Structure 1
C-alpha cells in the first residue's frame, strides 16, 4: 500500500512568520527532508530548491571570512531567518548579527532586525527575483543597514554592496566588486571574492 504524502495546507488567512516553527522539518510523512530550508517572503512559503556547488562554496566561505574578521561583539551565521513582520520571515544566505543576541538563546530559530547589521544573498537561478527585488526591499524597510548581493558571473562571484539610506529606507549601491572586496563598514572587511568559489 502506498502512503500519499501530506504537505501542509495553506492556512485560511495565509502563512505567518509564527507558522514556520510549527511546520515539520521532515517533509511529508517524515520520508524526506524537503521542508528543512523554507522561508516566508511577502506571505508566500518558499521551499528552497537544491543548491549548486557554487552557491554552497560561496555561502560557506563568505560566512567563514566574515566570522574571522568580525569584532568580538558580532558574529556571522548562515541560513538563519530574520523576523521582519507577521508575513515576512526571510532566510538570508549569510548574516552578521550581534554576538550577545546569538549567545542569549541557542534554541532561537530567527533573529530580529535590531540584531542584524549585514545580510548577504548569493543569487541562484530560482531566487533571482527574490534576491534582487523582494528581499532587499524588505531588509531595507526593516532598517538593516548593510546588504550584499553576490552573483555568479561566468563562475566567478561578483559582489554588489548596498548601504541603507535612512531618509528613504532604501538601499543605495556603494560599489561593485569583482576580485577583491575591501570595505570599512559594517566593520573593516577585506576578502578575495575569487577565493570564495575555488
Structure 2
C-alpha cells in the first residue's frame, strides 16, 4: 500500500525488453536507501517488486499486463519517474490509500498556469467515470490528488507548487499519457451496492 505522497523524482537508467515484458532499472537515492530484494516501490503509480539494488539503482521486472495497462511501456532511458516506497504501519497516511494497481491511463488535455498553482484537465474513460467524484481522491502517476471538477469526458485537478517542483507533473505537457488509479473505496462501495 502507498499514500500517493511522492518521495522523489527518479530516472530510468535502463530498459531491457524480455519475452513480452521488460526489466526496468531506475535511479532513486532516497527509495534505495533501505530497499532490498522483495520490497515494493511504486514507479509512476505502478507497484513493482524490487529484484536487485546496486548503489542508488533498483531493478524490477515488469510483466506484459503492467505494460499494457499503464504508461510504463512508453518509458525510455532518461525518463523521469515518480517514486514512492510502500508505506510502513507506523507512518502517517498523508495522501490517501493507493494500491499501486493502475486502473488505466488518461491523456492530459489542457494546462492553465496560475500564480500559485496550475489547473490541469485529463481525459476520463467511461470505465473510470463512475469512480471519479468532485473533491474525491485520485492517483495520477502515483500522486495523490483531489479532483476539482468532473464531467462525462474529463476531470480536473489543481497542482500546488510542491507537486509541480517535486514530481513529474511539473513537466507534463498536453498530449502526455498518465497512469490513473481510482479511489479503492469507491470501487468497493460500487461492488457492495451492486450485491456482487
TM-score class, shorter-chain normalisation, is under 0.3
- Give the number of the structure with larger relative contact order, counting CA–CA contacts within 8 Å between residues 6 or more apart: 2
What TM-score, normalized by structure 1, do the two folds share?
Answer: 0.26
Rg larger for: 1
Kindly indicate which of the two structures has a greater share of residues assigned to helix.
1
Q: TM-score, normalised by structure 2?
A: 0.27
